[in-house]
Structure 1
């Protein structure tokens, strides 16, 4: 079976990639490979962070490696939280605190100016140093309260444009995993990268 390393310890991201790639590819996370000192995320863009993580994972493991850097870009906040999405409140990965801070910052912003996009930069690196990066975006708006228990991060307050178009206004956290895979920024980025990955895995 072909293998690919996804440079993350996030079980939900691993599951998302495994679902999209299908059962003929074994997806390994950082917990599944020998440990190495992970680089801090210091890039100014999603693409820089994804590239650094993928290149390091490929070098350290000798495997084809994927890494993503993703976050929320809010129009009324000039694209922030952006690369700071996971630590917007000052504590990395504190989803409730990050979301509460975001909603507080947007409290006085009218509904028509609450546009936003989830962004995912996905980098693929090979042990011989080749790197390719793609970008997926998922447009929507920030609701005034969270709804739903699926997903993670800002999903409960993000209403995709597809939900508004359908008239149901469901948040990302109210979508099924299959619906989210079909629409999400990460799903879009993975599908853009899929031809490159399939070609490499076919040779491995």
Structure 2
């Protein structure tokens, strides 16, 4: 089965394909020739994820899924949240990380979580899948892998940041992995 993933983020695409395996072929926006900037104007992860699938369904009529993910930091009132990708006003993740670290300062409360919501449009129905991983924000970057806020996030029960883990290690525990596994289980139940 082919599904369109409403992303051109190669890192996300690779993570998702590794989790779903060979049973499902995941294609990106580029694979279908979509160069539109899909709006993300929602105030929740669910709204943004659904906006992506609604856009693809309305324009291309394809089975698809979209996600929205973000970092939620307790001491910052769950910021950056849905604004994670543009927290500093730009898509520059170095600036976004700098802003998080600046706002946290020497605050002892470093509790945070990553959250992903996936919206799947299939057979004229919308389905949602969520994944969350709890952890904490450290005071300086560590590791060269991963992407986004991975260099400053350590999941509970681990001593490494996501950026210090191998992709396989991260894919076993990440918020996206949890949500994608729920999506995969749902698809396998119906299309095995």
Q: TM-score, normalised by structure 2?
A: 0.94
Partners of 2:75 and 2:110 within 8 A in 1: yes
2:179 equivalent to 1:185: no
Q: Which among 153, 161, 176 is matched to residue 171 of structure 1?
A: 161
- Deviation for aligned residue 1:193: 1.7
Q: Name the SS of the counterpart of 1:162 in structure 2.
A: coil
Q: Name the SS of the counterpart of 1:22 in structure 2.
A: helix
Partners of 1:3 and 1:63 within 8 A in 2: no
- Deviation for aligned residue 1:36: 6.0
Distance 1:195 1:59, change over 3 A: farther
- 1:102 corresponds to which residue? 100
- 1:3 corresponds to which residue? 2
- Deviation for aligned residue 1:199: 4.4
Equivalenced residues, count: 192
- 1:73 corresponds to which residue? 72
Q: Name the SS of the counterpart of 2:62 in structure 1.
A: coil
| Separation in 2, partners of 1:73, 1:134 | 18
Q: Name the SS of the counterpart of 1:122 in structure 2.
A: strand
| Separation in 2, partners of 1:60, 1:197 | 23
Q: Deviations over 1:71-120 (max 9, x none)?
A: 000000010100000000001x211000001001111201xx10000010
Q: Which among 133, 139, 149 is matched to residue 144 of structure 2?
A: 149
- 2:185 corresponds to which residue? 195
Q: Name the SS of the counterpart of 2:182 in structure 1.
A: helix
| Separation in 1, partners of 2:57, 2:177 | 22
Runs of 4+ in 1 over 2 A off after TM superposition: 34-39, 58-63, 195-202
| Separation in 1, partners of 2:101, 2:137 | 8
Q: Deviations over 1:94-149 (max 9, x none)?
A: 11000001001111201xx10000010111012x5310112110100000001001
| Separation in 2, partners of 1:184, 1:68 | 14
Q: Which structure 2 residue ranges, 5 or more long, are not aligned?
A: none
| Separation in 2, partners of 1:27, 1:134 | 17
What do you get for the CA RMSD once the two structures are aligned? 1.5
Query: What are the residue-to-residue correspondences of 1:58-137 with 2, within 5 Å?
Result: 58-91=57-90, 93-110=91-108, 113-126=109-122, 128-137=123-132
